[in-house]
Structure 1
Amino acid sequence: MPTIQAPATVLVTGASGYVAASVVKELLDRGYSVRGTVRSSAKGDYLKGLFKSYEPRFQYVVVADMCNSDAFDDAVKGVDAVAHIASPATPDVHDPQELIKPAVSGTLNVLESIKKHGSSVKRVVITSSYFAILRPKTGVPTFYTEADWNDHAVDEVQAKGADADQHHKYAASKVLAERAAWNWVEKHKGEIDFDITTILPSVVFGPLLNEARSASQLNTTSRYFYNAIKTELPPNFATEWISSVVDIRDVAFVHARALEVEEAGGERFIAASVPFSWQTMYDALNSANPPLANIPKGTPGTPIVGGAVCISEKAQAILGAKFRPLQETAVDMVNDLREKEAQWSA
Structure 2
Amino acid sequence: MTQVVPIVLVTGINGFLGSHTVEALLAHGYRVRGTHQSSHDPHCLFRNRPSWKGKVEMFHIPDHRVPNAYDEVIQGVDYVIHVATEVHSNGETSGIDPHHTLAVSIKGTENALNAAFKEPKVKRFVYVSSDAALKGPKNFNGDGHVFTEKDWNPLSLQDAQASNDEGLNYTVCKKLGEQTVQKFHATHKPHFQVIALNPPLILGPVFHLESVKQLSFSAWFFWQLMNGRYEIAPKTEIFNYVDVRDLAEAEVLSLTADTKEPRVIVCAGDLSNDKIVNTLIPQFPQFQEKIAKPNGQPSTCNYKIDASLSKSALGVQYRPHEETFYDAAESLYRLAGFF
Q: TM-score, normalised by structure 1?
A: 0.88
How far the C-alpha of 1:68 sits from its partner, in A, is 0.5
How far the C-alpha of 1:103 sits from its partner, in A, is 0.9
SS at match of 1:269: strand
How far the C-alpha of 1:249 sits from its partner, in A, is 0.6
* Runs of 5+ consecutive residues of structure 2 not aligned to the other structure: none
Are 1:238 and 1:277, in contact at CA under 8 Å, matched by a contact in 2? no
> Comparing 279-288 with 180-189, which one deviates more in the overlay?
279-288
- 2:20 equivalent in structure 1: 22
Residues 94/254 of structure 1: CA separation in 2 closer, same or farther (3 Å cut): closer
**Correspondence for 1:326 among 321, 325, 334:** 321
How far the C-alpha of 1:327 sits from its partner, in A, is 2.0
Residues 138/77 of structure 1: CA separation in 2 closer, same or farther (3 Å cut): closer
Are 1:84 and 1:126, in contact at CA under 8 Å, matched by a contact in 2? yes
Q: What amino acid sits opposite 1:151 in the alignment?
A: P
* Runs of 5+ consecutive residues of structure 1 not aligned to the other structure: none
Residues 32/15 of structure 1: CA separation in 2 closer, same or farther (3 Å cut): same
Are 1:11 and 1:76, in contact at CA under 8 Å, matched by a contact in 2? yes
Partners of 1:285 and 1:86 lie apart in 2 by 31
> Comparing 202-211 with 134-143, which one deviates more in the overlay?
134-143
Identity fraction in percent:
27
Partners of 2:51 and 2:27 lie apart in 1 by 11
Q: CA RMSD in A?
A: 2.3
- 2:241 equivalent in structure 1: 245
- 2:307 equivalent in structure 1: 312
How far the C-alpha of 1:292 sits from its partner, in A, is 6.1
Q: What amino acid sits opposite 1:328 in the alignment?
A: E
Q: What amino acid sits opposite 1:223 in the alignment?
A: W
Partners of 2:11 and 2:128 lie apart in 1 by 10
- 2:98 equivalent in structure 1: 96
**Structure with greater proportional helix content:** 1
- 2:332 equivalent in structure 1: 337
Partners of 1:138 and 1:119 lie apart in 2 by 42
- 2:132 equivalent in structure 1: 131
Are 1:36 and 1:58, in contact at CA under 8 Å, matched by a contact in 2? yes
Partners of 2:86 and 2:56 lie apart in 1 by 24
Are 2:147 and 2:306, in contact at CA under 8 Å, matched by a contact in 1? yes
SS at match of 1:99: helix
How far the C-alpha of 1:201 sits from its partner, in A, is 0.9
How far the C-alpha of 1:78 sits from its partner, in A, is 0.5
- 1:217 equivalent in structure 2: 214
Residues 94/328 of structure 1: CA separation in 2 closer, same or farther (3 Å cut): closer
